[in-house]
């Protein structure tokens, strides 16, 4: 029912803008009033969002009155916040990412994938009223362990609308207006359900951070309210996935909205071998000692991202040896690089030995132990 009214509102909004562009002020005013009526109906249908929709309706009525008393000189009318609402919607639409990632695209992390896949499926499946899915799931662990990839796979497996949001960018780019963007984000997510909102670096919103500004507090309050959902009326379910590299920075209010907390650890030996196979697909790796590469990677505390970089460096070492002319400026300047056909050979351990020399993990054993302690104490 809600989706029907939102579709009607969207049609009226577009007609309003079209009539304004044509200079037909009276027609535009009629559509502005229709928009207000639809929003008032939504306020009745959704008690939990009553004030939100009534405020939007009031703005559209003001826009209609403004068109009556002082028609715009240009082709656009000021909506006293209504236009900015459309701008927020446009910004939010830019956060939609089309995910084609599947669980098979992620090497290792079998327990993590099963746990996440099961809970995401429960969230969107048809279920008895007694079964309450988690509204918020937190992925935490060292940098580069695949948290964003896991969220993408969750969306890709469901063919859900995937909103990829970096909390730090929202706070900096939309400073002072971030809470309005969060409201627009969840409004659109409900329209396009099934939806997954992925908030990366969610710790940027934590009140534990030093020098927390009022704008951050408002943004956090809005986010917590949206994750909770609203009682009464029909509302499409939106799953919020969040990730952090510093779970200990999350305050209690934020942490409580993510009762399911999944530790995404550094890859083990078997996972590393799978990651190497993924990132060397199409090349001959029969001569590689995968156990040796895995052993060395574990010893060096490599994350999935560093193993991907390791493979890339090893491949480039092979290409440099087989294609020395790539470093010859004279040869390259005389021809078209797009017509070059690269020579390749099977990857060898010496390619990886060279790559190991260039990659250093930023982690220490003490830092990894901190994640493990937090997982034991707060994970679930």
For the chain, the domains span: 2-80, 96-263, 269-362
Cα 258 to Cα 254: distance, rounded to the nearest angstrom: 7
The whole-angstrom separation of Cα 315 and Cα 31 is: 60
What mean pLDDT, rounded, does the chain reach? 85
| Res 233: pLDDT | 45
Distance, CA of 165 to CA of 185 (rounded, Å): 9
- Residue 325, CB-side half-sphere exposure with 13 Å CA sphere: 11
Q: Specify whether the CB–CB gap between 318 and 342 falls below 8 A.
A: no
What are 116-149's pLDDT values in tens digits? 999 989 888 888 888 888 889 999 999 999 999 9
Higher pLDDT, 84 or 42: 42
Residue 369 pLDDT class (50, 70, 90 cuts): very high
User: For the residues 237-252, what does the mean pLDDT come to?
Assistant: 92
Averaged pLDDT for residues 91-104? 87
DSSP bridge pairs for 243: 139
Nearest Cα neighbor of 138 from 119, 114, 158 is 119
Does the pLDDT at position 49 exceed 50? yes
Residue 70: predicted pLDDT = 62
Check pLDDT > 80 for residue 223.
yes
Start-to-end CA distance of the chain, whole Å, equals: 36
Task: Give residue 81's pLDDT.
Answer: 43
Q: Would you state the CATH architecture of domain 269-362? A: Orthogonal Bundle (1.10)
What's the pLDDT band for 319 if we cut at 50, 70, 90?
A: very high
pLDDT in the model for residue 281 = 95
**For the residues 70-91, what does the mean pLDDT come to?**
56
Q: Which of 8-12, 163-167, 312-316 has the highest mean pLDDT?
A: 312-316
Q: What is the per-residue pLDDT across 5-15, written as a single tens digit (0 to 9) for each?
A: 777 888 888 88
pLDDT at site 80? 43
| Residues 208-235, mean pLDDT to the nearest whole number | 70
3-class DSSP string for 188-202: HHHHCCCEEEEEECH
Q: Which fold has domain 96-263?
A: Rossmann fold (3.40.50)
């Amino acid at each position: 029912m809600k989706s029907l009214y939102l579709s009607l509102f969207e049609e009226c909004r577009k007609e309003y803008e079209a009539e304004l562009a044509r200079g037909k002020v009276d027609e535009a005013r009629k559509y502005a009033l229709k928009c207000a009526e639809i929003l008032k109906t939504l306020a009745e249908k959704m008690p939990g969002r009553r004030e939100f929709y009534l405020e939007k309706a009031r703005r559209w009525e003001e826009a209609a009155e403004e068109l009556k008393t002082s028609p715009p000189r240009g082709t656009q009318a000021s909506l006293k916040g209504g236009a900015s609402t459309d701008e927020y919607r446009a910004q939010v639409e830019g956060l939609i990412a089309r995910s084609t990632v599947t669980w098979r695209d992620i090497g290792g992390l079998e327990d993590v994938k099963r746990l996440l896949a099961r809970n995401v499926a429960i969230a969107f499946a048809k279920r008895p009223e007694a079964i309450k899915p988690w509204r918020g799931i937190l992925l935490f662990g060292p940098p580069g362990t695949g948290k964003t990839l896991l969220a993408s796979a969750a969306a890709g497996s469901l063919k859900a609308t995937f909103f990829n949001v970096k909390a730090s960018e929202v706070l900096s780019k939309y400073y002072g207006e971030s809470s309005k963007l969060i409201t627009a984000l969840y409004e659109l997510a409900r329209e396009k359900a099934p939806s997954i909102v992925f908030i990366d670096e969610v710790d940027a919103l934590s009140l534990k951070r030093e020098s927390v500004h009022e704008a951050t507090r408002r943004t956090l309050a809005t986010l917590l309210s949206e994750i909770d959902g609203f009682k009464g009326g029909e509302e499409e379910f939106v799953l919020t996935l969040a990730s952090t590299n510093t779970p200990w920075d999350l305050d209690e209010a934020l942490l409580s909205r993510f009762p399911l907390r999944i530790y995404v650890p550094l890859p083990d030996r078997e996972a590393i071998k799978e990651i190497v196979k993924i990132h060397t697909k199409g090349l001959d790796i029969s001569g590689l000692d995968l156990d040796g590469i895995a052993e060395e990677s574990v010893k060096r505390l490599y994350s999935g991202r560093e193993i991907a970089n390791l493979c890339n460096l090893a491949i480039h070492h092979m290409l440099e040896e087989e294609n020395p002319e790539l470093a010859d400026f004279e040869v390259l300047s005389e021809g078209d690089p797009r017509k070059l056909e690269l020579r390749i050979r099977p990857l060898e351990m010496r390619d990886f030995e060279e790559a190991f020399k260039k990659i250093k993990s930023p982690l220490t054993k003490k830092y990894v132990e901190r994640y493990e302690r937090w997982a034991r104490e707060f994970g679930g």
